[in-house]
Structure 1
């Protein structure tokens, strides 16, 4: 597989499989799905084996820059409120670790932490299993590609649409029948919430769900919801819908989503193209 200037590879990893996508800024820059494998990635060496299987069809990745997008089921995401008077990175790290233990019932010992560190307002933190990252680093050495980034899908989506997001709006991602929401109070992140989307969920369900989440988090209902991923087209704003506006950056019927499997969509999340 010969690389052209501006091209890179993206691997999407979920508990049930992996996908490989090529992206680039040249010749229109449309992402191209290259390979997909279904396997149990939670098994010992499951990730190493799955990544190797992606390159089995003469897709030699040596020298290529590779970004890995992790399904949110493989990671932990949570909101951290900085302690009053925090002035050192250690203060923020301790707050993130304590919040992790409170939410997930265990210490951070076997997880690797990253965050949008901010001493002035609540920030988003993420943790990935150290064993998962070690397998990715092993795969990079074996196949001689450059592992440039490992990012949770929700974080990749937030970064990709950062310039489009409006102040005070909630942001969401629809992937694999799950809705993940970043709830905001003004400019401050209030919580990250996920929920399984029931079959046939319409705009009424969405409005009721957002209202419930606002109550649970203890913030006001947003004036606007901005969603990416395979969101049902019926969730978009329409005449008579006054509770909140809903903008779909993508939808299940959009041209950019058609013909793409869930694993391939995972891999392309956050790509510039």
Structure 2
């Protein structure tokens, strides 16, 4: 699901099955939390027919998501407490109520947790696809999908830049954990100079020295694999993953993210 369209892709053949514009099927799409996502999912289902038990993996553009880091306090281990504290953190960071949002995270009792939130109405509409014969295996925003797919190749100490058509997410990985995250919405794909400025600002915000590696993931990063940025060597983890792909739309590209081979 991109910012402007939804596309269903057969992951086995990597061919798009159908695509629909969001503004034609999602009333009030600009206001993601209150928008009615149901008609768009129903229209997609009508075009591709019954799932007959087929798996459905949903990747959502990061524009629809909110990201933050939650540090687990000592003595807190119950899931309900963790989620309540993470929701409080969300409200402090973004200045809006958690109501209408659905939190997704790998909850655990210690350390830093990367938490994301998607509009609850969107998640509910996607989960309802299971009623139409599909098995909804996962619903994840783009950055979470990519960080998971390439987790074994991401160094324990690095920065990660996850590109989208409408922004870039910067994450600091320390001792194998994501300890800082910030998404920068942009009107166009960020150029090298702008990315370097954003990185240097985040490094200053955190303090300390930059790690030796910057991992780059996502859609069409305009970078040379052997270059350096903010003093860090670039590691282009997807540079060999794009060959043979026939999908060019944002939503179609998102659908194939993390699909290896």
Shorter-chain TM-score range: 0.7 to 0.9
- Equivalence for 1:4: none
- Equivalence for 1:140: 130
Deviates more, 1:186-195 or 1:207-216: 186-195
* Structure 1 residues 14-68: Cα deviation after superposition (integer angstroms, max 9, x where no partner): 34220001113xxxxx522221111226527753332333344455423211111
SS in 1 for 2:11: strand
Q: How many residues align?
A: 254
Q: Of residues 226, 230, 250 in structure 1, which corresponds to 2:238?
A: 250
* Structure 1 residues 101-136: Cα deviation after superposition (integer angstroms, max 9, x where no partner): 111223323222221223321110122222222222
Deviates more, 1:118-127 or 1:180-189: 180-189
In 2, the alpha carbon distance for the partners of 1:58 and 1:91 equals 41
2:133 paired with 1:159: no
SS in 2 for 1:34: strand
- Equivalence for 1:195: 184
Asked if structure 1 preserves the Cα contact closer than 8 Å seen for 2:67 and 2:183, the reply is no
Structure 2 portions without partners, runs of 5+: 29-34
Deviates more, 1:44-53 or 1:131-140: 44-53
Structure 1 portions without partners, runs of 5+: 1-12, 25-29
TM-score (norm 2): 0.83
In 2, the alpha carbon distance for the partners of 1:200 and 1:75 equals 18
Asked if structure 2 preserves the Cα contact closer than 8 Å seen for 1:113 and 1:126, the reply is yes
2:32 paired with 1:17: no
Cα distance 1:243–1:264, how it changes in 2: closer, same or farther (>3 A)?
same
- Equivalence for 1:269: 257
SS in 2 for 1:140: helix
Cα distance 1:206–1:111, how it changes in 2: closer, same or farther (>3 A)?
closer
The runs of at least 4 consecutive aligned structure 1 residues that moved more than 6 Å come to: none
